[in-house]
Chain A
Amino acid sequence: MALGESFTGVLEAARVGAEWAWRALYADTAPDLLRYARASRAPDPEDVVGETFLRAVGGLGSFEGDERGFRAWLFTLARNRIVDEHRKLVRRRTEPLPVEFLAEVGPHADAETEAMRALVKDHVRSVLDRLTPDQRDVLLLRILGGLTIEEVATVVRKKPGAVKALQARGTAAIRNEIELGAVTL
């Protein structure tokens, strides 16, 4: 939480269209939204971030809450967008190449580091793919989004008790995979 006590002033300035305020909100939240969108296999994660903020502009007049509430609200908008994108994919029956894949194709570091990163990512994906969509959603929102149980419950529109249960089953499944050596590098 980079904004802290200044959040209220930033939010008021954003409501009247102040560019500096939107820059501050974007810098604070966009990186986590982007990694959440990538981990959720959004077809175009960057587009999800942009659309999320555009929706936030339109709905900011009705938003009431603090910085954590604002963050949870943005994740709700992002998740809705990702769900919509996945539904469109099912209807189209074609899967466009993710933009992040193109970015990963080019070399960023030495070959050994790139190979290790790819391995880690493949293992993480293989473990996450064994979870149910709800379990994966809850764990990603907690790990990458930094949201609490109650905030995740708001985002996924479930009761906190249900979110706790999903988290417990998800972590149990991950532990099981770890014991089996599925993610042992």
Chain B
Amino acid sequence: MGPDDGFERLLRGETPKTPEERALGLFLHDVGGAFPAGIPPAEEAHLAAIVHAAQLLADKGEPAVRSASKADGRARHASGLPKRRRVMMKVPLMRSLAAKVVAGLVVLMSMFGGLALAGALPGQGSDDDATDVVEIQDVSDESPETEAPETEDADDQGENEDAEDQGDDDQGENEDADDQGENEDADDQGDDDQGEED
């Protein structure tokens, strides 16, 4: 017997057994009397709104009763999330703010990198001019700096002073042979020619 058994008996409508229960039963009766059950005065207005809403829902084509079977599978909704949003939802990485910032930076860097390669960035025109000047200087000054390595090759050949070796080497290196011509070394050139004849 719990402390609330008397209360449960009274709720079931049974006769109270003790004076205490009788007093509690009287209070429960008073509660019912203070708030009597009755049809709301606005019953008809309520029902009109309820039925109207229910019929609207039924006519809308949305079945209030849904099939319990999923044998056919759930139909795909015509209206769904926008494509971009769907992709974002599928890729958890893109949900992070840091990942979005990094992705934005990568896009910006690749974009500007591409522009730089194409020479379309502002301020790149002066560099092109400078390059042109250098090229002009190459022609006018006979580019001593740029031809220095070739001269060294020629010197090497001259220092070698071995006609047969030089001839063998020059068989595969015709460009060196031309350079030798510029080097004004008569012996070397003669040897080169011999080598080519071989």
A and B pair up: yes
Whether B51 pairs with A30 at a CB distance below 8 angstroms is no
Contacting residues, chain B, for A144 (C-beta < 8 A): 31-32, 35, 37
- Determine chain A's interface SS by DSSP, over half rule: helix
**Which parts of A28-62 form the interface with B (CB within 8 Å)?**
30-32, 34-36, 38-39, 45-46, 49-50, 53-54, 57-58, 60-61
Which 9 pairs of residues, A with B, have the shortest CB-CB distance? A17-B55, A15-B64, A31-B37, A17-B58, A17-B54, A121-B34, A35-B35, A61-B64, A124-B34
Given A15-B65, A31-B37, CB of A172 within 8 Å of CB of B3? yes
CB pair B40–A46 under 8 Å, yes or no, is yes
1/0 per residue, CB under 8 A from A, across B1-42: the answer is: 011100100010000000010011001101111111111111
The residues of A that contact B55 with a CB separation of less than 8 Å are: 17
A17: which B residues are within 8 A, CB to CB?
Answer: 51, 54-59
Chief secondary structure at chain B's binding surface = helix
Are B58 and A38 interface neighbours, CB within 8 A?
no
Residue pair B51, A31 in contact (C-beta under 8 Å): no
Instruction: Give min CB distance, B75 to chain A, whole Å.
Output: 16
A15 to B24, CA, bound (A): 42
Per-residue interface assignment for chain B, residues 47 to 69, with 1 indicating a CB less than 8 Å from any chain A CB and 0 otherwise? 10111011111110011111000
Residues of chain B at the chain A interface (Cβ within 8 Å):
2-4, 7, 11, 20, 23-24, 27-28, 30-43, 45-47, 49-51, 53-59, 62-66
**Which of the 9-residue segments A1-9, A19-27, A85-93, A153-161 touches chain B?**
A19-27
Is A68 engaged at the interface, CB distance under 8 Å to the other chain? no
- Cβ-defined contact, A57 with B54, below 8 A: yes
In the assembled complex, A16 has its CB within 8 A of some CB on chain B: yes
A12 at the interface (CB under 8 A from B): yes
* A117 pairs with B64, CB closer than 8 A: no
Report if A83 contacts B (CB, 8 A): no
28 CB contacts below 8 A, A to B, read: A14-B54, A22-B47, A26-B47, A27-B39, A30-B39, A30-B40, A30-B43, A31-B40, A32-B37, A35-B35, A38-B35, A39-B31, A45-B40, A46-B46, A50-B40, A50-B45, A50-B46, A54-B49, A54-B53, A57-B50, A61-B62, A121-B34, A125-B34, A143-B11, A144-B37, A168-B3, A175-B20, A178-B27
